Structure 1
Amino acid sequence: MSDINAECPAVFARRLYDGASDLPQENRVIEIEAGRIRAIRPGDLPSAVAAGMPVAEIIAPGFIDLQINGANDTQFNFDPSVAALARIAAGARRGGTAHLLPTFITAPGEAYLSALTAVRAALAAKTPGILGLHLEGPFLSPARAGIHDPAAIRAMTSADLAALTAGFPGPLMLTLAPECLPEGHLAALAAAGVILSVGHSAATAAEVAAAEAAGLRCATHLFNAMSQMSGRAPGVVGAVLASDRLYAGIIADGHHVAWENIRIAVKAMGARLCLVTDAMLTLAGTAPGFALHGVGITLQGDRLTDAAGTLAGAHLAMDAAVRRIMDGAGVSLPQALRMAATHPAAALGLAAELGRVAPGYRASLTLLGEDLASCGVVVDGRYFPQD
């Protein structure tokens, strides 16, 4: 996708899905001013083409990826820098992602501090697409490490708590195992505005409920790396499905979660279920694999695994996740588009500015072809066409 970074005064949609209604608006011009949507009005294709507007068969609210580890041959853990974040965001835009939380996974010691520094700098520089930060670890359960380095998983210290509650200029999501946290830390993190997400956790349903009461808001890659639901032990999965408030991300790539389970989650959670990619550096890249804390990861088809077959993130774009959840779980197009944009915005507390196409909202849009493949992205009024 070209990073021409051009200000875009208007775009034309043959069909506009606004993130609220199931019914599309046909032949609409979306007018943009100072990075916001100024107006939406009827229009026609010949006039739009004559005016030089970007045109798309379908326009939807800009996709928001809450969990993406890398793209464009760049892994955030390997290079926590503003330049790396710009490359990852550019790679994600090729799959229709307008905004993302770059995700820094478990690393030794206090390495996560470098991610905080990098994203602070990227936000200060107004790097297009960088919305905030997702720290996935290191405060996880060793029993549910997944592909994370068990040697780097550790307990949260008072110094960690101070660093994480010092204030952050954007959404800060933290995936943790609540059963492993010291008493009072969860509530302190929530009070500081950290978006707490249960993941890589062996918690009981009672422990999840207690964490929810203390401020837990989300679950990370639902069904994966967490205690499962059984007849008398609901685990993390059962607690999340039974909750009326918790949001969850889900990886709809056909590998991480059985489609039957995704259908259950869609029915149980409705507007609280969010599509995520969990993508690694191979997305929109050229590398056939990489090493993660000394473990070789290879891409076979669209599946990333180590030699033992353990899934290691995903090779998935957001537009592909939309198509796959429609095909695999019978989700309608407007619902799938909301799962990619509207629900994530709400999970982050940003429902008043992102996740809708309406006057006053940030002008962040995903442009799709009839085949639901991305053909461009508008990020806060800047147009990035697909190459």
Structure 2
Amino acid sequence: MSSTDQGRSGRIFARDLFDGTGGPALRDRIVHFDGGRITEIRPASARDDAPEVDILAPGFIDMQINGAADTQFNFDPSAAALRRIAHGSREGGTAYILPTFITAAGTDYARALDAVHSAVEEGVPGILGLHLEGPFLSHLRPGIHDPVAIRQMDESDLDRLTAADVGTVLLTLAPEALPAGMLKRLTQAGLRVFAGHTEATADQIAQAEAEGLVGVTHLFNAMSQMTGRAPGVVGAAFASETLFAGIIADGHHVDWRNIAVAARLMPDRLCLVTDAMLTLAGNLTQFELHGEVITQSGGRLTNAAGTLAGAHVSMIECVRNMHDHTGVPLERIIAMASGNPARALGLERSVGTISEGARASFTCLTGDLGVAGVIVDGRQEL
């Protein structure tokens, strides 16, 4: 894109501009940015000379990514690893990530906090904070997480998490497993708490929502399901007016019909996530997790028993899958990859939007939904 030597100023001519709100595309727009911020959006004219893209979207936000480029955050919780993972995610059009650290023994998650703090201090592009998925989960819904390491949160955990200086912290936990009052203390301290790997009832989710619960992690997977007289976590998410939900649109984790239902019921609250592992944008097709061999075959990551172990899918593949299988308009799908996750994280004023004053981060797409480039805070990263 046209830019200064510093790479934080420039302009783009968008044939179609999606602003991240879910509204229809704006045709033939010029977007100016300076100092890493969007300064002006206006109709294009015949006199304009700017690099052209078919589709300009807000920089995609992946709230749940475990690894990429042959690098797994749990295996290497370091700033250097986060740089590789963020870079690998760009092939799928992702501008911002919440690197995800899953259940590990004791307080091993503190290493992830330190790594993200270092990455932010070093200015690694596109790191919004940290997603901790566990260890405060339900033993009834461990999924691929190590059941031995799943445990209850205690006061020292609360102190460590609420004092973290890593940007946005998304914490996935089983609300029914928390000591009384702890969820409210977490949310009052600013953590974005999601329910996941949980056997909670709909009533327990409603109570958690009253205490600040923001959403649910990988909807349909590793949670109580919706039945006629027991709505479970899935039904609670559908019935809520405020809960967000991440969903893995890879065709393996959730049936396309269920994804389409979720998209129709909660178009402004559904967030595309990859749950990607180190095989994304990498060369490895096999790795070990908790002593089990995980194999990638046909875009599916499983252990020997067939249990899903994260995903092998990028954000742009999720976008295309939604477009191909759900009948949801493209403007809504773009919002599910940008504006919706930004609001889920409480960051909607700065990311997930193409609006004046917002951070100049864009996912540039071709007309057939290929990735043409990624700009993060005014700098071209792909």
Name the TM-score class by shorter chain: over 0.9
Matched to 1:222, the amino acid is L
Aligned mate of 1:184, from 181, 184, 192: 181
For 2:311 and 2:274, the matched residues in 1 are separated by 7
- What is the aligned partner in structure 2 of residue 351 from structure 1? 348
Cα offset for 1:196? 0.4
Say which SS state the counterpart of residue 352 (structure 1) adopts: coil
Aligned pair partner of 1:88 in 79, 85, 89: 85
Q: Residue deviations 1:305-335, cap 9 Å, x none?
A: 1111111101111111001011111111111
Choose the corresponding residue for 1:321, options 308, 318, 321.
318
3-state SS of paired residue (2:354):
coil
Q: SS in structure 1 opposite 2:74?
A: coil
How many Å separate the matches in 2 of 1:102 and 1:5?
27
For residue 13 of structure 2, what is the aligned residue in structure 1?
12
Q: Find the residue that maps to 2:293 and give its secondary structure.
A: strand
- Structure 2 counterparts to residues 198-277 of structure 1, below 5 A: 198-277=195-274
For 2:88 and 2:8, how far apart are their aligned partners in 1? 20
1:153 to 130, 150, 154: 150
- Residue segments in structure 2 that go unaligned for 5+ positions in a row: none
**Is 2:163 the counterpart of 1:166?**
yes
Q: How many residues end up aligned between the 2 structures? A: 378
* Cα distance change on mapping 1:284 and 1:45 into 2, 3 Å: farther
Counterpart code for 2:64 = Q
1:98-137 equivalence runs, <5 A: 98-137=95-134
Q: CA separation of 1:54/1:70 partners in 2, compared to 1, >3 Å: closer, same or farther?
A: farther
Q: Distance in 2 between the 1:206 and 1:232 partners?
A: 12
Could you give the per-residue CA deviations for residues 172-206 of structure 1, whole angstroms, max 9, x where no partner exists?
Answer: 00000011111111111011101000000001111
In 2, the alpha carbon distance for the partners of 1:213 and 1:63 equals 29
Matches of 2:117 and 2:224, distance apart in 1: 34
Question: Which whole-Å CA distance do the structure 1 matches of 2:6 and 2:298 have between them?
Answer: 32
Unpaired stretches in structure 1, ≥5 consecutive residues: none
SS of 2:305's equivalent in the other structure is coil
Does the CA-based 8 Å contact 1:6-1:384 persist in structure 2? no
- Measured after TM superposition, the shift of residue 166 of structure 1 is 1.2
Counterparts in 2 of 1:295 and 1:44: CA distance versus 1, 3 Å: farther
**Higher mean C-alpha deviation, range 344-353 or range 163-172:** 163-172
Give the Å deviation of 1:169.
Answer: 3.9
Deviation at 1:373, TM superposition (A): 1.4
The letter of the residue matching 2:70 is D
Identity %: 57
Q: 1:74 aligns with which of 71, 83, 103?
A: 71
1:9 Cα deviation from its structure 2 partner: 1.3
Question: Which position in structure 1 is the counterpart of 2:34?
Answer: 33
Q: In the superposition, relative to structure 1, how do residues 298 and 14 fare at CA in structure 2: closer, same or farther (>3 Å)?
A: same
1:175 matched to 2:172? The reply is yes
The CA RMSD over aligned residues, in Å, is 1.5
Alignment TM-score, normalising by the size of structure 2? 0.96
